[in-house]
Amino acid sequence: MAKASSSLSVANLSAVRGESRLFDGLSFEIQPGQILFIQGRNGCGKSSLLYILAGLRLPETGTVCWDGTDIQQLGKQYHSQLCFVGHTNGVKADLTVWENIEGFQKLKPGSSEAIQATIDALGLAGYEDSLAYQLSSGQQRRLALSRLMLSNQPLWILDEPFTSLDKHSIRLFESLVSSHSQNGGLVIVTSHQALDLTGTEAIHLHLEQAA
């Protein structure tokens, strides 16, 4: 994992969906080693905020800066610094488990032994040649989250990462998030469920839809 030395700052951010304003005047800063835990009811704009922070959507107003520079100016340079796992899995349905993880591994070049170790840790041993669409929803989610096991990006942005996971898998990925933070990484996460973030510096942001 590449140790972070940059911060992510947000100034006067607002977003709209259709004719509704999701949030307005949002400002905060996240430093290396911190976890931003975003909460709020459905429809308040949590996912929209994550897409803006990941540079995948433009805000209505305001700026998002990485180490003081607008991420829209940084472009690919910024995207190379983050690992984004959205609400959908983003796996290639017509590729095998092995091929999907091999594709993720390009983010952090390694050996076939590393791919197998990841598959074993995910509880997917025996499914190496199974196509992603043949997996259960929980297995597909674990496959999507294998990005975290292979990531060397300092910034993780995770939208409801633990959907469809059993308790054992949740503990596994909670430990990955905690370890990433404790090693100086930055994490932004939304979740409807309580997370065990013991030993981390967690900041809670509660979104309320703007009037």
What counts of helices (H) and strands (E) characterise the chain? Answer: 7, 9
**Could you read off the pLDDT tens digit of each residue along the chain, which spans 211 residues?**
444 568 999 999 999 988 888 999 999 999 999 999 998 888 889 999 999 999 999 999 999 999 999 999 999 999 999 999 988 888 999 999 999 999 887 655 567 888 899 999 999 999 999 999 999 999 999 999 998 988 889 999 999 998 889 999 999 999 999 999 999 999 999 987 778 777 889 999 998 765 5
Q: How many CB atoms sit inside 10 A of residue 164's CB?
A: 15
Q: Does domain 1-81+153-211 have CATH number 3.40.50.300?
A: yes
Question: Which pTM was predicted?
Answer: 0.90
Using the Cα atoms of residue 52, residue 56, residue 57 and residue 62 in order, give the sign of their dihedral: positive
